Structure 1
Amino acid sequence: MQLKTYCLVFMIIVLEAFFISLILRPGIIESRILFTDEKKPTTPVDSHLKLKPLNKLKFLSPYGGDWTFGRNACSCRILNSDMFTYDKFNAGKDNLAIKKRRGLQYEQYKKRNESPAKKVIIAQPHSPLSYPTHGVEVKPLYSILIPGLAVHGMEGEKNTVKLTATQGVFNTIVETPDGVVHGSGEQELTIRSPSLAIINNILKHVTYTSKKYQIASTDLVSFQFEEYTAEFVILIRVPPMIRLFDPGPDNSIDSLVTIVTKTFIRYHKLRILISSIRKFYPKIMIIIADDSKVTEKIEGPYIQQYTMPFAKGWFAGRNLAISQVTTKYLLWVDEDFEFTQETKLEKLVEVLEKTNLDLVGAPVSQDVFAFKLWYEEGDDEGDCVFSQNGSFHPLDGFPGCVVTSIVVNFFLAKTEKVWSVGFDPRFARIAHTEFFIDGIGSLLVGYCTNVKVGHQKKGEKDKALNEVENKYAAFRRLDRNEFRSRLDMTYFKNRLKCYTRNRV
């Protein structure tokens, strides 16, 4: 009986070993998997994906062209009759010398304006570091506590934390044990302790001090703990001084808006404009810049007339006129416009008061004029500016208004913003787009169709007035050399290699 028992146990052990050997054999495992899960793929998935062709990525371009991501520079290949490239108009022997001068000026510009904040910072996965990602700011030569610094993880024998800066130094405002903090008052601060609680308590009290007086700069701070490293930006700047305009106790249109214009010999047009303004706004200030050869005195209350050297120019006159504005807003009008019942300045004021727009234009007569500007960074040859009819999108809360880039010469604007952009006085005869190109990145423009200004009829019955108009037209006309000079100025100043006057 005992022998039978031993034999039974032995047989059970042998059978168990046999079945285990079958299960552990690779071929059997594979057979069982294939048999029990027929839908499971038997070949590996290719992880290498092909990029879509450029013609299928046009939807990523804001103006329907090729998407610029992945290219090192913008392209001037969108050529049409209104595309201007520098080499097309300036192929003279001084071309290389001009490019060299412009390159040197651009290097100086970058030193003054480029910021480390443009660097793309990628957060590490599962990082034990806590740090500020945005909003840390300090005035030059001032000190701040750096918010949000902490480390998380397992305590070790020698936990080490390191902070590194280039524009400032670190300190702590708490007393620490000997040998824990190294580099106080320097650009690199190291904290070592086996206790994370002590390290985190110190990190809560770490200060950053700016050591250079700069009105606008940034410091890219490195924060390291063991093998983990993070970077964050500290903005160093002097906050811009606030400048407010007093609208007066009644907050009237007269205390909010000044009308500015420029005249050149067409006094008959100017007087019609002033007469039309006085029908609707009898006390609003009108400022006139005048570069006529023989000036005529414009009489009347609330009028300021400033004379200039003869034919000093269009943009020079604009600069003079806007420099004398003391109200919150200025309204630019041409001398041959005419106010009508539809010229409701209060509606334009409401737009600027209730939105973040800097400038809002409106139609002249029935002509709708609005263009978008697209700016793309380029290479050593320069950048690109493309223009396109229309607007970017509607202006929230104001039916009939849109956000755009260029409007006609009838616009209401924040005085201070126009001052900051200015009108380049080198553009003497014909210029308009150049002001809005200069304002790219700083001037937010809108356009509303519920306000209109009239345009005086062309052609005069009086022979003498016709002669004045003909003289004026001849003065505005650009010859080829003047046209080329205008393009050269735009090319050099705005560092462009091409731009369109009308549309992409």
Structure 2
Amino acid sequence: MGRRIDRRFSFLVCSRLGKPKLFVQILFLLVALCLFISLASQLATSNTMTQNDLRFQAQDMGRNTDAVQNVSSIRGQPPPRRESPGACNCGSDPTDLWDSLEYSAMRRRRKELEEWERLHDHEIEPLVECRTSSPLRYPASGITVEPFDTVKLRRLRLDPDHPTVKGSDSFTLTFVSEKSLGILFVSNSTFLKGVDVSGNFTGNVKIQSKAVTPIQQVCQSVYYHSNLYDIDTRDRITVTLNNVSFTINVRIKRRPMPFLYDPGESHHVNDLVTVITKTFERYDAVNRLIKSVNKRYPGMTTIVADDSERPQRLSGKHVKHYTMPFAEGASAGRNLALSQVEVK
């Protein structure tokens, strides 16, 4: 029965549409039309979402001119006019960029750093130049370099009026690192004419020339590079000119980190000084000390290191009480109190 119905249905379709080829073409057109309608609806939905996103973006940002123009064009309204901000009128006052308290602390910090650098410069070894009867003037000491850094061998020059220099037809200048803590090199060796440099960027550099002028130029371009890390050590550079030898001391020293303290805006003595003491079973004496400090210098901090057997509570204001193990000792207590100091 089912087969008869299928045959009748196929007969009716073929009789109405003609050949099966025409039926396939119509079916293909219907499918293509459905796909086109679906794609058009998706594009319309995406456009609507984009317009809504632009509206929300323009409302959130407020300053995006392009977004405002897009939203205005969508709504059919002209874009609003915006006045030109003009030149910046913030001025040159640093307090316009930072808070007044922050700028004041930054200014005090800079001043403390300059003071620390001034005191640190006095600790650097002075440059000592040897001006003897030798044909070469050289720095005996005062050359300091950071680990893994480079320094120039300053004040190194040949004396052209020396009898040994005048009577020589050729010159041989060598630099040797005795402790092998670094290397030596001539910076412009490739640009010097009439100079033969061997062993450049090693611990043993040899320079040969037949004229005085190239040797003078080499002496102004000799550098030392530290290739070993050490916080404080020395390397000896042996310099030999023909048959005359000299020694240059190069100090390899790590620059210490600056310890900066905030003296406060008023530079009051309470912001500059802290009282420290060590006590052991003498609470009467330490309480009298705290009372005296509070009376004469109100607001000054007192740090107490206590290694008594049964610590007691101290009386007074602005007191920092640090308890220690029993009978730890005076030196340990003073070191503990000193480590807690936060003023200059």
| The one of 228, 232, 235 aligned to 1:216 | 232
Structure 2 residue aligned with 1:228: 244
TM-score, normalised by the number of residues in structure 1 = 0.39
Mapping 1:164-243, distance limit 5 Å: 164-165=176-177, 166=179, 167-174=181-188, 175=190, 176-177=192-193, 180-243=196-259
Greater RCO structure (CA 8 Å; 6+ sep): 1
**1:115-134 alignment, distance < 5 Å:** 126-134=133-141
Q: TM (normalized to structure 2)? A: 0.57
Hey, what's the Cα distance between the residues in 1 that align with 2:293 and 2:131? 63
- The answer to whether 1:266 aligns with 2:282 is yes
Partner of residue 387, structure 1: none
What is the alpha-carbon distance in structure 2 between the residues aligned to residue 138 and residue 270 of structure 1? 48
User: 1:151 corresponds to which residue?
Assistant: 158
CA contact (8 A) 1:124 1:230 kept: no
1:140 maps to: 147
Q: 2:43 matched to which residue of 1?
A: none
What one-letter code is carried by the residue in structure 2 that aligns with 1:138? Answer: V
- Structure number with the higher helix fraction is 2
Asked if structure 2 preserves the Cα contact closer than 8 Å seen for 1:218 and 1:234, the reply is: yes
Per-residue deviation, 1:285: 0.3
Q: 2: distance between equivalents of 1:172 and 1:216? A: 25
Q: 1:279 to 1:258 in 2, by over 3 A?
A: same
Query: Distance between the aligned counterparts of 2:220 and 2:131, measured in 1?
Result: 22
1:243 is displaced (CA, Å) by 0.8
Letter matched to residue 168 of structure 2: G
TM-aligned CA distance change 1:267 to 1:224, over 3 Å: same
AA matched with 1:154: K
Give yes or no for contact 2:280–2:307 (8 Å, CA) kept in 1. Answer: yes
Choose from 166, 175, 184 the match for 1:163. 175
Q: How far apart, CA to CA, are the structure 2 residues paired with 1:193 and 1:179?
A: 5
Distance in structure 2 (CA, Å) of the matches to 1:303 and 1:264: 17
Partner of residue 286, structure 1? 302
How far the C-alpha of 1:249 sits from its partner, in A, is 0.8
CA distance in 2, matches of 1:237, 1:313: 35
Query: Structure 1: how far apart are the matches of 2:174 and 2:269?
Result: 59
What SS class does the counterpart of residue 207 from structure 2 fall into?
Answer: strand
Stretches of structure 2 that go unaligned for 5 or more consecutive residues are 1-127, 160-164
- 2-structure distance, mates of 1:229, 1:314: 54
Alignment partner, residue 320 of structure 1 = 336
User: What corresponds to 2:117 in structure 1?
Assistant: none
Return the letter of the residue paired with 1:291. Answer: D
Contact 1:155 1:195 in 2 (8 A): no
Asked if the contact 1:155/1:196 (under 8 Å) is kept, the reply is no
Secondary structure of 2:299's aligned partner: coil
How far did 1:214 drift? 1.0
Instruction: Find runs of 4+ consecutive structure 1 residues off by over 4 angstroms.
Output: 121-125
* Cα deviation, residue 182, structure 1: 1.0
For residues 345-373 of structure 1, give each alpha carbon's deviation from its aligned partner in whole angstroms, at most 9, with x where no partner exists: xxxxxxxxxxxxxxxxxxxxxxxxxxxxx
- The one-letter amino acid paired with 1:182 is S
Partner Cα separation in structure 2 for residue 122 and residue 244 of structure 1: 34
The residue type equivalent to 1:228 in the other structure is: V
Distance 1:276 1:181, change over 3 A: same
- Alpha-carbon distance in 1 for matches of 2:157, 2:131: 15
How do 1:350-365 residues align onto structure 2 when only pairs under 5 Å count?
none
From 271, 293, 317, the counterpart of 1:301: 317
After superposition, the Cα gap between the structure-2 partners of 1:155 and 1:147, relative to the gap in structure 1 and judged at 3 Å, is farther
Please tell me whether the aligned partners of residues 131 and 137 of structure 2 are also in contact (alpha carbons under 8 angstroms): no
Secondary structure of the residue that 2:139 maps to in structure 1? coil
SS of 1:131's partner is strand
Q: How far, CA to CA, are the matches of 1:314 and 1:144 in structure 2? A: 45
Is the Cα contact below 8 Å between 2:152 and 2:224 reproduced in 1? yes
* Distance 1:122-1:277 versus aligned 2 partners, 3 A rule: closer
Q: Do 1:151 and 1:225's aligned partners in 2 also have CA atoms closer than 8 Å?
A: no
Structure 1 residue 256: Cα displacement: 0.7
**3-state SS of paired residue (1:197):** helix
Mark the CA change 1:322 to 1:206 in structure 2 (over 3 Å): closer, same or farther. Answer: same
Change (3 A) 1:195 1:168: same
Aligned to 2:71: none
CA RMSD of aligned residues (A): 2.2
8 Å CA contact retained: 2:129, 2:139: no
Residues in 2 aligned to 1:124 and 1:282: alpha-carbon distance in whole angstroms: 60
Q: CA deviation at 1:155?
A: 5.8
CA distance in 2: counterparts of 1:189 and 1:212, whole angstroms: 19
Q: Could you give the per-residue CA deviations for residues 418-440 of structure 1, whole angstroms, max 9, x where no partner exists?
A: xxxxxxxxxxxxxxxxxxxxxxx
